[in-house]
């Protein structure tokens, strides 16, 4: 049995509504196997948390980089709130130990788990916002996610990855990258895309996102890292 009080001790955020905390960790697949659980899955909380996360991140970047233009701030925000970084942050916060998943999802610890962790982080932010208010949500994000900003800026990971990978691919391998949708899941209001980047006919890397554009940027960044083309 998962004891969410242990997570509250870790984060030092004690919920008034314990069901809200638990709901943040409930994946849709768990409800399918446990329909009598009495709680719903975390997708509504994720929807709210995504907006809270975007506002707090935008406010932080706006103040931290007063000389950056809108396009640069947008690219930097996209690099900061992408699924790969958020899933790493969620894992570091210990969220993986508290996930409520179906037996099948529990066995899958690959890319699918990475995406579930990223969504859970957003759902938890939504739950904190509802239970504790904006300031506590801000403190949690400031402590867990925003410290990654300096690394993203110093390594220039915020640059438009698609433009950069096209430039490097043409220079080093003589190909213009092509992108193909590999998987598409979720209802119309909450689509998740997995896109592959190809040089010639060869699949180089994959990326995920809530839009095709976001997934293509993620795939392009993954290809840049794989080829060691980030200078």
The catalytic site residues sit at 50, 122
- Contact residues for 96 (Cβ-Cβ < 8 A; gap 6+): 90, 113, 117
Distance CA 72, CA 78 (A): 10
Inter-residue contact 119 to 209 (CB < 8 Å)? no
Identify the CA nearest to 82 among candidates 225, 187, 227.
Answer: 225
Distance CA 138, CA 134 (A): 6
Distance CA 216, CA 122 (A): 21
Residue 117 has, within 13 A of its CA and on its CB side, a CA count of 24
- Contact residues for 175 (Cβ-Cβ < 8 A; gap 6+): 169, 199, 200
Residue 208 has, within 13 A of its CA and on its CB side, a CA count of 22
Tokens of 183: 């998987």
Give 137-158 as a DSSP string.
Answer: HHHHHHHHTGGGHHHHHHTTTT
């Amino acid at each position: 049995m998962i004891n969410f009080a242990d997570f509250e001790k870790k984060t030092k955020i004690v919920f008034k509504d314990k069901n809200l905390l638990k709901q943040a960790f409930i994946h849709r697949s768990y409800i399918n196997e446990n329909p009598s659980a009495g709680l719903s899955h975390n997708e509504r909380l994720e929807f709210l948390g995504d907006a809270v996360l975007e506002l707090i991140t935008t406010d932080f970047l706006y103040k931290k980089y007063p000389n950056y233009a809108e396009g640069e701030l947008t690219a930097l925000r996209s690099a900061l709130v992408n699924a790969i970084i958020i899933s790493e942050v969620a894992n570091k916060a210990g969220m993986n130990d508290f996930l409520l998943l179906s037996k099948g999802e529990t066995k899958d610890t690959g890319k699918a788990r990475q995406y579930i962790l990223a969504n859970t982080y957003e759902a938890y932010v939504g739950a904190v916002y509802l239970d504790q208010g904006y300031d506590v949500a801000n403190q949690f994000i400031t402590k867990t996610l925003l410290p990654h900003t300096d690394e993203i800026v110093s390594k220039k990971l915020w640059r438009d990855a698609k433009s950069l990978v096209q430039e490097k691919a043409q220079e080093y391998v003589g190909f213009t990258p092509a992108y193909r949708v590999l998987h598409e899941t979720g209802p119309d209001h909450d689509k998740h895309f997995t896109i592959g980047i190809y040089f010639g006919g060869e699949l180089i890397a994959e990326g995920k996102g809530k839009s095709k554009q976001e997934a293509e940027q993620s795939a392009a960044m993954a290809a840049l890292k794989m080829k060691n083309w980030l200078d």
